[in-house]
Amino acid sequence: MSLQLEPVIGLEIHVQLKTKTKMFCSCDNRGENLPPNTAICPICLAHPGTLPWPNEQAVRFAVLLGSALGAQLDPVLRFDRKHYFYPDLPKGYQISQFDHPTCSGGSFTFEVPGTNVPRNSATVRIERAHLEEDAAKSFHGTAGETLVDFNRAGTPLIETVTHPDFKTPFEARCFLQELRLLVRTLGISEGDMEKGHLRCDANISMRPVGDENLYAKTEIKNLNSFRSVERALEFEIKRQSELWEAGTPPTLTTTRGWDDANQKTTEQRSKEGLKDYRFFPEPDLPFCDISAIIAEERRHLPELPHAKRARFQAEYGFTAPDARQFVEHESLAEYAENVMSEFLAWVRSELPETSEEEFKPRAAKLVSGWLLSKYLGALSEMGREFSRDIITPENFAELLTLLYRTKINSTTAQTVLKKMIETGADPSHILEDEKLTGADEQSIDLWIAEVIAANPAQVAEFKAGKFSLLQFFLGQVMKKSRGTADPETTAEKIKDALE
C-alpha cells in the first residue's frame, strides 16, 4: 500500500529596498548599475574605526511592510551581529536582527486561481520580517579566480519568514507574486526577481496525511524566478516521497541548490546552525525609539492590492479576472478608475434617466473590453508600452460614450483608437478629420425610406416571409451611407420599417 503524503512548505524572502543610500552608510544604493567597486566607502568596506548608522528610510520601509502584513512592530530598533566567514563579507559578520525583529507575527491572504487546487484563497502566517544588510557579490572566473564587487555590500534588505503553511508549490508561487505586487504598491522595492531584488529560499518536508509533526526539511537555494520556485518544490516532493516510500525518510536538515539547466536540486554544504553564527547585540548601534516613525508610516499605508481588487468589483462592477488584471499594474488601475469616473459623470449629466444599476454593468464591460483587450492589444501590436500619457482618460471616456450611444460602430472605434494612440487627439476631431463620423439617425431613416420605395418587389417578398432579404436591404442602406451607418442599429430600423 502506498503512503499518503503531504508537503509542508515555508518560504524565506529577501527583498532589496530601493532607498537612496545603503543600510549603514551614505553610499549610493544603485550600485548594481555602476562600475564595480565605485559605490563603496570605509564603512561598507569595514575599515577599522568606522561606525555604522541606520538608514531611516529603510526603517520606514520595514514599518510599511510590517503594517501591510499585520505584524507587531517593535518600537525599539536594535540590531545584532551574525557571524560567518566568507570573502564577500568584509566585516566577518553581517548586521541583522536576531531576537527583536522590527516586525513579528502577522498573516497574509492571497488568491490561488484555478479549479484544480485544494483552495482558492490561502492565508499564510508570517513568523517575522527583519532588516539586515546585504553581502558583496562574488564572480567566479573560468581560471579559478574569484572577483568581488563591493557595490552591493551594505545594501538594505528585509527578510520575511513565513510559517510552513503552503499546501502546494503553486501556492508558494502565487504568494510570491502577490508579495511582489505588495512591495511595489508600497513603493519599497522594484521587486524584480531576475535582478535579485526579490530572492527566495524555500524549505520543504513531507509527512503522512493526518500527522501534525514536522520532519527534517530541505532548504532550497538559488531560486531566481517564480517558475523555478514551483519546479524545485515539485522536484523535492518527488525526491522526498521516494525516500519515504523506501522507508528511509530524511533525518537531517539539508541545504540543496536548484540547478535550473538540469531541473533538479543538488546537495550543498551543510548549513551553519544557530550556534555557529554566535549572534550578539551590535555594540556600534545604539537602541533607537522608532514609535513616532511607526505612527507616521501607519497613516501612509496605501490601499493594498487585495482591497483594491475587492473595491474594483464592488464599486465598478468589474469581474474578478478583470479587477485582477487592472490591479496588477498600478498605473493601469489608476487609469481605469479615471476613465470610469469620466464615463459615469458623462452618463449622469447626459442621460439622467438611466439607472445606475442598468448602466454600470454595461459601462464596466465597455471599459474593461476596450481598455484591457482592444487598447492594450493595439499598443502591443505597435510595440508600445502602456502609459497614461498616450491617451488622456477624458479622451478614452469620450470614445466609449460614442460607442455607448452607437454613434460609431466597433470597427470605426478601432480605427479611431489607433489614430488616438498615434496622435493623442480627441475622438471627435479624428472622426471629423478622417470623415469617419457616424451617420445620424435622421439620415439613416431617410435612406431606409428611399431603399424601400425603390424595391417594391423585394418588400413584398420580405413581407411574405423571405426574411433573408434583410441583408439585401441592409446592404443598400450601408451603400447609401458609404459605410458610416452602424449595421446593427440599421438592421433593427429596417425591420421596424418593414413591419
Please state, as a whole number, how many other Cβ atoms lie within 10 Å of the Cβ of residue 441: 14
Binding string, residues 4-43; x marks residues near Zn ion by CB under 5 A = ---------------------x-x-------------x-x
| Per-residue burial over 459-473, b = 16 or more CB atoms within 10 Å of its CB, e = otherwise | beebeeeeeebeebb
CB 265 within 8 A of CB 239: yes
Grid cell of 206 as nine digits: 513531507
Least gap, CB of 286 to Zn ion (angstroms) = 20
Nearest partner of 100 among 241, 318, 337, 279, judged by Cα: 279
Nearer to Zn ion, 41 or 446 (CB): 41
Least gap, CB of 139 to Zn ion (angstroms) = 20
Nearer to Zn ion, 136 or 430 (CB): 136
Least gap, CB of 83 to Zn ion (angstroms) = 21
Nearer to Zn ion, 47 or 163 (CB): 47
Nearer to Zn ion, 52 or 66 (CB): 52
Nearest partner of 496 among 432, 448, 447, judged by Cα: 448
Least gap, CB of 55 to Zn ion (angstroms) = 11
Least gap, CB of 14 to Zn ion (angstroms) = 20
Least gap, CB of 237 to Zn ion (angstroms) = 43
Give residues 377-436 in contact with Zn ion (rule: CB under 5 A): none
Nearer to Zn ion, 87 or 424 (CB): 87
The window from 44-52, 69-77, 133-141, 378-386 that contacts Zn ion (CB under 5 A) reads: 44-52
- CB-neighbour burial class of residue 54 (10 A; exposed 0-12, middle 13-18, buried 19+): buried
Least gap, CB of 22 to Zn ion (angstroms) = 5
Q: Are strands 76-77 and 107-111 parallel, antiparallel or unpaired?
A: unpaired
Residues 441, 436: Cα–Cα separation, whole Å = 15
SS3 content of the chain, % helix, strand, coil (to 5): 45, 20, 40
Nearer to Zn ion, 32 or 441 (CB): 32
Least gap, CB of 39 to Zn ion (angstroms) = 7
Please state, as a whole number, how many other Cβ atoms lie within 10 Å of the Cβ of residue 387: 11
3-class secondary structure, 159 = strand
Nearer to Zn ion, 43 or 237 (CB): 43
What secondary structure letter does DSSP report for 87? T
Nearer to Zn ion, 27 or 416 (CB): 27
Among 23, 44, 408, 451, binds Zn ion (CB under 5 A): 44
Residues 327, 308: Cα–Cα separation, whole Å = 7
Q: Does 186 bind Zn ion (CB under 5 A)?
A: no
- Residue 391 makes CB contacts below 8 A (sequence gap 6+) with 375, 420, 421, 424
Give residues 267-306 in contact with Zn ion (rule: CB under 5 A): none
Which residues contribute to the site for Zn ion (CB under 5 A)?
25, 27, 41, 43-44
